[in-house]
Chain A
Amino acid sequence: MTRLYRLLLFAYPEPVRQTFGREMVELFADLLREEKRRGGFTAAVSVVVRTLIDLPFSAAGARRERLSTTRPGDDLSGAYRRHNLSAANRRDDKSGREAPGRSPAIPPTAPRDGGVRGFLDRLAQNLRYAVHGLLRSPGFAGVVVFTLAVSIGANTVMFTVLDGVLLSPLPYEQPERLVRLYTVRPDRPDAKEYIPGTAFLAYREQADIFEGLAAVYSYRQSGADLTNGDETQRIVIMPASSGLFEVLGVEPIMGREFLPEEETGDANVAVISYGLWHSAFAGDPDVLGKDIDLQGVPHTVVGVMPAGFRNPIGGEVDLWRPENLQPGGRNNWGNYYLSAVGRLRDGVSLDQARARLEALGVSMFEEEPRTHGTYATIYPLLDDTVGETRTMLWVLMGAVGMVLLIACVNVASLFLVRSADRWKELAIRTALGAGRRRLVGQMLTESLLLGIAGGVGGLMLSFAGLRAVLALSPGSFPRLAELGIDTRIFVFTTVVSVLTGLLFGMAPALQFSRPNLDRTLRDDDRGNSGGKTHRRLRGALVVAEISIALVLLFGAGLLAKSFQQLVEVDLGVETGGVLTYEVHLPTSRYPEARDRIAFYDRYFERVQAIAGVESVGATSYLPGEGRYHTWSLGRADLDLEDDESWTRTDVRVVDGDYLQLMGMELARGRLFDSSDTFEVFENDRGAVLLNESLAERAFPDRDPLGMEVTFGGGDFRIVGIVSDTAHDPLGATSPKVYATHDQFAGDRNWAMIQTLRTSVDPLSIIGQLRDELREVDPQLVLYKIRTMDDVVARGISPQRFSMALMTSFAAIALLLAAVGIYGVLSYTVAQRTHEIGIRMALGADRSTVRAMIMRQGLAITGLGVILGIAGALAIAGWMSSMLFEVQPQDPAVLAAVALALGVVATIAGYVPARRATSVDPMLALRKH
């Protein structure tokens, strides 16, 4: 706020700024602080408002003052002299005490000379008139400024988001040539799969398509412990191929990126992010060549990426290490796991590249049947990054554009009303000799003044709004964190709204080119309202406002209903009171399965002992966060050579009381117990639980209990069936098999996510959790602490985001429409005071008069609602992709918003109608 004020000081002339600038800013800050302390937010706002109103006034004064002091030879009027010359000087000039300084209260009407000074004089005078005029009708000024500020603010914020997320190119060189590769099957060209390592190597050879192609193992992007001296830090690492940064066109600020010969799996080198360089190495300029400890394995730092470099796929990354791309191992034709990003060769279009890749797939299939005819396809990287949010942001932008439209309509109608009000004033001033230019100039000043006030208010709202949007939006929203206010759109919306005001504000002044003064001055109210055309125009504007507001309300209603459905989706888990966090065991110190099992045993015992903890468990992956570890599970009772014996299923490794504490139900059999030990798995078979989906899919023919299955190279016996849990917020479920960490810990060092159910606020025991962890192993880090409620909420946060924004826009629209109706009816009442007086004098009772006014309001509202419904139904289809289990033409929502709008409009109309009946007939008649 203070910074803004400092900017506004440029309205004052240079010497004043030099002498008093700093002090003025300090005083402003002091006042703001003091008022806020004493009277809270509203008091502080009052300081801001008073300061802004005063600004053009005192600035113009100061400039005039300055002109007169710098040109002492001029013939100065007494007013200026009094302000600027010392008393002693003046006494020498003029004789004695004849009140030489007495000045008229208002500066002289006509400018005394032309040129700069004359212009400034006129400007100052116009400003003064405008400010006085506006202060005389604070309602008008307030509503105009409010309308402008809200629409400018909302548009600026929304466009900033849209531009930042959708329109601005990615922060890479020639981003339009960057594409992401997916594998697709000929029969399902829309199902995008990751890319097998073998296929990636083949695609990378296609120099006629790609200038460069690189891959990251984003599927695996994962945490790792970085040990630097005594400190262990949890960081995000991303395995990458050579050439990744070159493809993106970003060079490391130090060192180099990976070389093709480092894609072997045993090259322990690392490129670190700018952030990690500073957090772990304090920006050490000699970091290249240093060894760092990653999960107990020493790695040599070979490169540092610049600040602001954004990893293209898979979120923020602290460290990249080379991925093993040697054929064999996980690089086989059946393992789809890489994400590839390529730079198209200059001049190669998307379609050409797609066609060539498809042809390549065909020829590869001839040589290698294990491709199963799959081929690669490409999508622009930007589309891929922004993905689903595109429609949502455009719809929201459309919504906010409608807010701007309503705002313009409102401003137009307000100015029309005001100009009609001032008809007589203008006529009088014309009669007194004010020229047309003069009147136009004054109107212009007034409109501009309102525009500036609205713009300043809009700017303040934009800052607040953007902060709110950032707070509201989850990290999952791509690229949102990089935003700043967009000045272009701020200027655009401000200019549009101010021009609207100007256009409608000037109309009356222009009409005075051939004024019928005599008639206007003599005539009564009927004459000066601008007649029927004016009134019709105002009515039409309000009808438009109402119909647009209805469309917005309908959109908001649909999103709200959709969101409600989402929240009510049964995910198959009880999220309340569940805390999740992660602890990772470095393989160097926990090399064996038994070490890790022992650790969890000891740690769980301690956590269980914390007061308020009801049960403790862990899982390799949480529900609601997508599919992960999708493996194939084979039935041992069938021929394992046959593909039909295998079912794709998500593998989950769990520990402790995880299943119970998540509220999963045991349908049949038993849960894991202390008999499921590592020894039993080693010597015989492990125990697994299937969820109901998997049981149905893999064993359609018989009861799976007691049956033997195999996956991940291990043999298991099915001991129980548990209920399904959703893997996404829409409630989708997938086949899942649960193994216990006590038995399956040898497969890999599982990154277990800890879960606990508490009887107290889950976040209140984090300190104790840390203490207990330190007791067991002081080097471990507890991180990514979230409640399960947050985990689920994060899944639907884009929907929450769009609903919240749409609802705010609709609320603004409703408010503005209400103001519009109120304005028009108030005006009608004021215009018809005389008529109402006569009616009442002739015996019309209050309810008749009230009904008369209300009828006009209802006619406008009704027409607006009908048009609005038509409009809403016409464009609702655009929103269908944003809706969950709601039809875009949902009649209940439509009826509800039409009703709501009707009620608000009626209330807005009732106030002026009531005022009409309080007219004292005698007074109304006598007035004329």
Chain B
Amino acid sequence: MARDKLSAAAEGHLPLKPTDYLTLVALSDGERHGYGLVKQIETLSGGTLRLVPGNFYSVLRRLMNAGLLEESTRRPADDLDNRRRRYYAISELGRAVAAAETARLKSLVKVAEAHDLAGGRAR
């Protein structure tokens, strides 16, 4: 029941902007601080998405307001940096939204493949 409710809520957030999607994906394997997150998003996007503080924190605010991610209270043990950094983690809802978006994208890709559009030959 709770699960249904969650996925229903997740549907309401679709479709996600690519940046939001990548942000959620970047957090899927554990919490990160701001800089780590920016770098991870850059890596995941193959270097094409390079955020700067302004737009990065807009994304963060948006996702936090929507309840898709939250501030983490836990700090990874291997963080030797003694600055008091804030860590961000994906919320349960965020995970569900990311999963739903992935499913949505997958189905789109299937449609495209059926029309022989995948693989770059656009003619």
Q: Does A26 contact B (CB under 8 A)?
A: yes
- Write out the residue numbers on chain B whose beta carbons fall within 8 Å of the beta carbon of A50: 50, 52
- Check if B66 sits within 8 Å of A16, measured CB to CB: no
Binary per-residue interface labels of chain A (16-47) against chain B in the complex, 1 for a CB within 8 Å, 0 otherwise: 10001001111110110010000000000001
Which chain B residue has the least Cβ–Cβ distance from A24? Answer: B53
Q: Does B48 contact A (CB under 8 A)?
A: no
- Check if A27 sits within 8 Å of B66, measured CB to CB: no
Q: How far is the CB of B3 from chain A (nearest CB, A)?
A: 15
CB-contact partner of A31 in B52, B61, B85, B86, under 8 A: B52
- Segment with Cβ contacts to B, from A87-95, A415-423, A513-521, A731-739: A87-95
Which chain B residue has the least Cβ–Cβ distance from A50? Answer: B52
Q: Which A residues are closer than 8 A to B by beta carbons?
A: 5, 16, 20, 23-28, 30-31, 34, 47, 50-51, 54-55, 57-59, 61-62, 65, 82-88, 90-91, 97, 99-101
Given A28-B53, A30-B35, A88-B9: A83 in contact with B83 (beta carbons within 8 A): no
- Check if B66 sits within 8 Å of A58, measured CB to CB: no
Q: Which 7 pairs show the lowest CB-CB distances between chains A and B?
A: A58-B54, A24-B53, A54-B54, A51-B52, A30-B35, A87-B9, A27-B34
- Write out the residue numbers on chain B whose beta carbons fall within 8 Å of the beta carbon of A97: 8, 11-12
- Check if B38 sits within 8 Å of A27, measured CB to CB: yes
Task: Show 17 residue pairs from A and B whose CB-CB distance is below 8 angstroms, ordered by the A residue.
Answer: A20-B60, A20-B61, A24-B57, A28-B53, A34-B39, A50-B52, A51-B53, A54-B52, A55-B54, A57-B55, A62-B58, A65-B61, A83-B62, A86-B65, A86-B66, A87-B9, A91-B12
Q: How far is the CA of A855 from the CA of B67 in the complex (A)?
A: 65
Q: How far is the CA of A91 from the CA of B93 in the complex (A)?
A: 14
Q: Does B21 contact A (CB under 8 A)?
A: no
- Check if A47 sits within 8 Å of B65, measured CB to CB: no
Q: How far is the CB of A54 from chain B (nearest CB, A)?
A: 4
- Check if B9 sits within 8 Å of A61, measured CB to CB: no
Q: How far is the CA of A88 from the CA of B10 in the complex (A)?
A: 10
CB-contact partner of B83 in A26, A65, A85, A88, under 8 A: A26
Q: How far is the CA of A54 from the CA of B35 in the complex (A)?
A: 17
- Write out the residue numbers on chain A whose beta carbons fall within 8 Å of the beta carbon of B85: 23, 26
Among A51, A57, A58, A97, the one with the most B-chain Cβ atoms within 10 Å of its Cβ is: A58
Binary per-residue interface labels of chain B (87-98) against chain A in the complex, 1 for a CB within 8 Å, 0 otherwise: 000000100000
Binary per-residue interface labels of chain B (42-55) against chain A in the complex, 1 for a CB within 8 Å, 0 otherwise: 00000000101111
Which chain B residue has the least Cβ–Cβ distance from A15? Answer: B61
- Write out the residue numbers on chain A whose beta carbons fall within 8 Å of the beta carbon of B62: 83
- Check if B13 sits within 8 Å of A101, measured CB to CB: yes
- Check if B54 sits within 8 Å of A23, measured CB to CB: no
Q: How far is the CB of B90 from chain A (nearest CB, A)?
A: 14
- Check if A87 sits within 8 Å of B93, measured CB to CB: yes
Q: How far is the CA of A650 from the CA of B32 in the complex (A)?
A: 76
Q: How far is the CA of A84 from the CA of B67 in the complex (A)?
A: 10
CB-contact partner of A58 in B14, B57, B86, under 8 A: B57
- Check if A23 sits within 8 Å of B52, measured CB to CB: no
- Write out the residue numbers on chain B whose beta carbons fall within 8 Å of the beta carbon of A87: 9-10, 12-13, 66-67, 93
Which chain A residue has the least Cβ–Cβ distance from B52? Answer: A51
- Check if B65 sits within 8 Å of A58, measured CB to CB: no
Query: In the complex, which range does the number of interface residues on chain B fall in?
Result: 20 to 34
Q: How far is the CA of A65 from the CA of B60 in the complex (A)?
A: 13
CB-contact partner of A26 in B9, B11, B34, B52, under 8 A: B34
Q: How far is the CA of A25 from the CA of B13 in the complex (A)?
A: 30
- Check if A54 sits within 8 Å of B55, measured CB to CB: yes
Q: How far is the CA of A907 from the CA of B44 in the complex (A)?
A: 44
Among A27, A50, A62, A90, the one with the most B-chain Cβ atoms within 10 Å of its Cβ is: A27
Q: How far is the CA of A100 from the CA of B34 in the complex (A)?
A: 30
- Write out the residue numbers on chain A whose beta carbons fall within 8 Å of the beta carbon of B39: 34
Q: How far is the CB of A94 from chain B (nearest CB, A)?
A: 9
- Check if A84 sits within 8 Å of B65, measured CB to CB: yes
- Check if B52 sits within 8 Å of A28, measured CB to CB: yes
Q: How far is the CA of A23 from the CA of B71 in the complex (A)?
A: 13
- Write out the residue numbers on chain B whose beta carbons fall within 8 Å of the beta carbon of A99: 12, 14
- Write out the residue numbers on chain A whose beta carbons fall within 8 Å of the beta carbon of B35: 26-27, 30-31, 34
- Write out the residue numbers on chain A whose beta carbons fall within 8 Å of the beta carbon of B55: 54, 57-58
B1-35 with Cβ < 8 A to chain A? 8-14, 34-35
- Write out the residue numbers on chain B whose beta carbons fall within 8 Å of the beta carbon of A101: 12-13
Q: How far is the CA of A99 from the CA of B35 in the complex (A)?
A: 33
- Write out the residue numbers on chain B whose beta carbons fall within 8 Å of the beta carbon of A54: 52, 54-55
Q: How far is the CA of A692 from the CA of B57 in the complex (A)?
A: 78
- Check if B8 sits within 8 Å of A16, measured CB to CB: no
Q: How far is the CB of A846 from chain B (nearest CB, A)?
A: 33
- Check if B58 sits within 8 Å of A61, measured CB to CB: yes
Q: How far is the CA of A348 from the CA of B84 in the complex (A)?
A: 66
CB-contact partner of A20 in B10, B14, B57, under 8 A: B57
CB-contact partner of B12 in A65, A84, A100, under 8 A: A100
Q: How far is the CA of A739 from the CA of B65 in the complex (A)?
A: 88
- Check if A83 sits within 8 Å of B11, measured CB to CB: no
Q: A16-B57, A91-B12 are in contact. List 13 more A-B contacts (CB 8 A).
A: A20-B57, A20-B60, A20-B61, A26-B34, A28-B52, A31-B38, A31-B53, A51-B54, A83-B62, A84-B65, A87-B13, A91-B8, A91-B9
Q: How far is the CA of A87 from the CA of B61 in the complex (A)?
A: 14
- Check if A16 sits within 8 Å of B61, measured CB to CB: yes
Q: How far is the CA of A87 from the CA of B11 in the complex (A)?
A: 10
CB-contact partner of B61 in A28, A34, A59, A62, under 8 A: A62
- Write out the residue numbers on chain A whose beta carbons fall within 8 Å of the beta carbon of B13: 87, 101
- Write out the residue numbers on chain A whose beta carbons fall within 8 Å of the beta carbon of B10: 87
- Write out the residue numbers on chain B whose beta carbons fall within 8 Å of the beta carbon of A47: 52
Which chain A residue has the least Cβ–Cβ distance from B65? Answer: A84
Q: How far is the CA of A84 from the CA of B58 in the complex (A)?
A: 12
Q: How far is the CB of A182 from chain B (nearest CB, A)?
A: 61
- Write out the residue numbers on chain A whose beta carbons fall within 8 Å of the beta carbon of B57: 16, 20, 23-24, 58
Q: How far is the CA of A5 from the CA of B55 in the complex (A)?
A: 14
Q: How far is the CB of B103 from chain A (nearest CB, A)?
A: 15
- Write out the residue numbers on chain A whose beta carbons fall within 8 Å of the beta carbon of B56: 27
Q: How far is the CA of A31 from the CA of B57 in the complex (A)?
A: 14
Which chain A residue has the least Cβ–Cβ distance from B67? Answer: A86
Q: How far is the CA of A737 from the CA of B52 in the complex (A)?
A: 70
Which chain B residue has the least Cβ–Cβ distance from A53? Answer: B52
